[in-house]
């Protein structure tokens, strides 16, 4: 008789297309599900983007109320009831660390064998919500069996001073399915034709419309790019936004106010996000904070040059394609750097852009997928590692 798989409960906010959720799903697709099966707890009753796929892969999706401080007692009761009714869950992997200090001790008390708090962000939302998050996390390091992190900055933000052994977290790369992002010239041409941007210089951004992503700054950068392109007689610059979120309507309105709405593509969430990196000429990520953004890794795997904020950990720069700049700088300085790339590309196709003279550009862009894999960001490698951890409790 075959042994039943180990059940791991992953705790998230929503099972929508987001950074942490995408990385967990990449892992889920590549793990041996006959040996380890994932179930998910989300803090909403909405039907979210990944639910159908989770069910198709044999997993289950559960729901608890969203925590709002006022429902502290009922929130704890919901978790108590859940764990008592689901003794099959042996491991709880908490990616939602804002309330992990509440649900992980409950899991342990009820009999869950192993609990994990996984730091995936190096900041918190502004205002009261951020204050509450910091308060709840203040002793999280004591309330879990293992501490994981995607970066040093995220570990410091969630668990505190990493020089203290009791707070130290294990680095788990935000691994991706590298081969999906390897450059494909045909995909690039087809998608750019489909979007009507064949002759444009395309700046791309992938991320939720939330305060941390700094979308207003990106609009100001685009505004400056439009001025510089006219001075230098460069191709028209457009900005491609992929993602949804609470600030989307506001950003759309601001693009109209700035007179650049015709230059901004709001493409929403996409399951085939790998195709859109092929269409980009440049990648932009001026976030106020991140854990370790998988989008920056995806861009590099696709051979896309770009700039990330100096608030983002340097661990996200795994190839020579990516550079870091201060978001305290005026947007025109970012725009000038971006336009250098547009100017280089306009002289000799992609050849000068990538510093090669043989014009064997597809192969040159493709090499970056190999470099990303060599930096241990391939999910196949991490799936083997995590599967072994779930079995042995050793990382």
Residue 225: count of CB within 10 angstroms of its CB: 28
Report which of 27, 18, 82 is spatially closest to residue 50, judged by C-alpha positions. 18
Report which of 79, 87, 100, 88 is spatially closest to residue 13, judged by C-alpha positions. 100
The pLDDT of residue 387: 95
H or E element at residue 68 = none
- State whether 159 and 10 are in the same domain: yes
Whether 333 maps to a domain, the answer reads yes
Whether 80 maps to a domain, the answer reads yes
Whether 1 maps to a domain, the answer reads no
- Backbone φ and ψ of 88, nearest 5°: -70, -20
- The SS3 call for residue 147 is strand
- State whether 159 and 142 are in the same domain: yes
The pLDDT of residue 347: 55
The pLDDT of residue 340: 92
* Residues 288, 298, 98, 163, CA torsion sign: negative
- State whether 386 and 304 are in the same domain: no
Give the E-state strand segments of the chain in sequence order: 6-12, 36-42, 61-63, 89-94, 114-119, 146-149, 170-171, 201-206, 237-242, 264-266, 282-285, 306-309, 322-325
Could you give the number of structural domains in the chain?
A: 2
The pLDDT of residue 277: 97
* Domain of 43, in residue numbers: 6-175+378-392
Mind listing the pLDDT tens digit of every residue in the chain (395 residues)?
458 999 999 999 999 888 889 999 999 999 999 999 999 999 999 999 999 999 999 999 999 999 999 999 999 999 999 999 999 999 999 999 999 999 999 999 999 999 999 999 888 777 878 888 888 899 999 999 999 999 999 999 999 998 888 899 999 999 999 999 999 999 999 999 999 999 999 999 999 999 999 999 999 999 999 999 999 889 999 999 999 999 999 999 999 999 999 999 999 999 899 999 999 999 999 999 998 999 999 999 999 999 999 999 999 999 999 999 999 999 999 999 999 998 887 654 444 444 444 445 667 789 999 999 999 999 999 999 999 999 998 88
The pLDDT of residue 2: 58
- State whether 156 and 251 are in the same domain: no
Conformation bin of residue 5: beta by default, left when phi > 0, alpha when psi is -120 to 50: beta
- State whether 162 and 189 are in the same domain: no
- State whether 124 and 215 are in the same domain: no
- State whether 322 and 232 are in the same domain: yes
- State whether 281 and 334 are in the same domain: yes
- State whether 208 and 323 are in the same domain: yes
Whether 296 maps to a domain, the answer reads yes
Whether 63 maps to a domain, the answer reads yes
Look up the pTM and report it.
Answer: 0.86
- State whether 291 and 215 are in the same domain: yes
b or e along 1-24 (b: 16 or more beta carbons within 10 Å of the residue's beta carbon)? eeeebbbbbbbbbbbbbbbbbbbb
Tell me the chain's radius of gyration from C-alpha atoms.
Answer: 22
- State whether 165 and 17 are in the same domain: yes
Whether 64 maps to a domain, the answer reads yes
Taking the C-alpha atoms of residue 208 and residue 268, their distance in angstroms, rounded to an integer, is: 9
- State whether 202 and 309 are in the same domain: yes
Give yes or no for a contact between 66 and 42, defined as CB atoms under 8 angstroms apart: no
Domain containing residue 384: CATH number: 3.40.50.2000
């Amino acid at each position: 008789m075959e042994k039943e798989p180990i059940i791991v409960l992953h705790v998230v906010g929503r099972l929508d297309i987001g950074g942490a959720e995408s990385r967990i799903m990449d892992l889920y697709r590549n793990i041996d599900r006959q040996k380890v099966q994932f179930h998910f707890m989300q803090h909403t009753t909405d039907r979210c983007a990944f639910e159908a796929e989770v069910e198709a892969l044999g997993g289950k999706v559960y729901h608890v109320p969203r925590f709002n401080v006022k429902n502290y007692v009922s929130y704890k009761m919901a978790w108590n009831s859940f764990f008592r009714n689901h003794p099959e869950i042996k491991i709880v992997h908490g990616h939602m660390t804002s309330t992990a200090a509440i649900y992980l001790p409950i899991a342990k008390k009820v009999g869950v064998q192993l609990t994990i708090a996984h730091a995936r962000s190096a900041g918190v939302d502004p205002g009261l919500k951020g204050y509450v998050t910091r308060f709840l996390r203040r002793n999280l390091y004591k309330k879990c069996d293992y501490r994981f992190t995607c970066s040093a900055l995220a570990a410091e933000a969630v668990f505190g001073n990493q020089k203290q052994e009791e707070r130290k977290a294990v680095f788990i790369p935000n691994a991706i399915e590298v081969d999906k992002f390897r450059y494909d010239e045909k995909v690039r041409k087809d998608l750019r034709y489909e979007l009507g941007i064949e002759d444009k210089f395309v700046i791309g951004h992938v991320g939720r419309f939330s305060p941390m992503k700094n979308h207003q700054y990106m609009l100001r950068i685009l505004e400056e790019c439009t001025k510089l392109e006219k001075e230098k007689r460069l191709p028209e610059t457009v900005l491609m936004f992929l993602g949804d979120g609470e600030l989307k309507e506001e950003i759309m309105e601001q693009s109209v106010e700035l007179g650049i709405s015709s230059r901004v593509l709001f493409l929403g969430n996409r399951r085939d996000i790998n195709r859109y990196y092929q269409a980009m000429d440049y990648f932009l990520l001026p976030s106020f904070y991140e854990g370790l953004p998988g989008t920056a890794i995806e861009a590099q795997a696709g051979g896309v040059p770009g700039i990330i904020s100096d608030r983002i950990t340097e661990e996200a720069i795994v190839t020579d394609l990516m550079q870091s700049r201060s978001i305290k700088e005026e947007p025109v300085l970012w725009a000038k750097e971006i336009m250098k790339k547009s100017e280089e590309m306009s002289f000799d196709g992609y050849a000068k852009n990538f510093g090669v003279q043989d014009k064997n550009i597809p192969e040159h862009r493709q090499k970056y997928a190999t470099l990303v894999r060599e930096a241990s960001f391939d999910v196949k490698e991490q799936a083997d590692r995590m599967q072994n951890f779930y079995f042995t409790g050793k990382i």
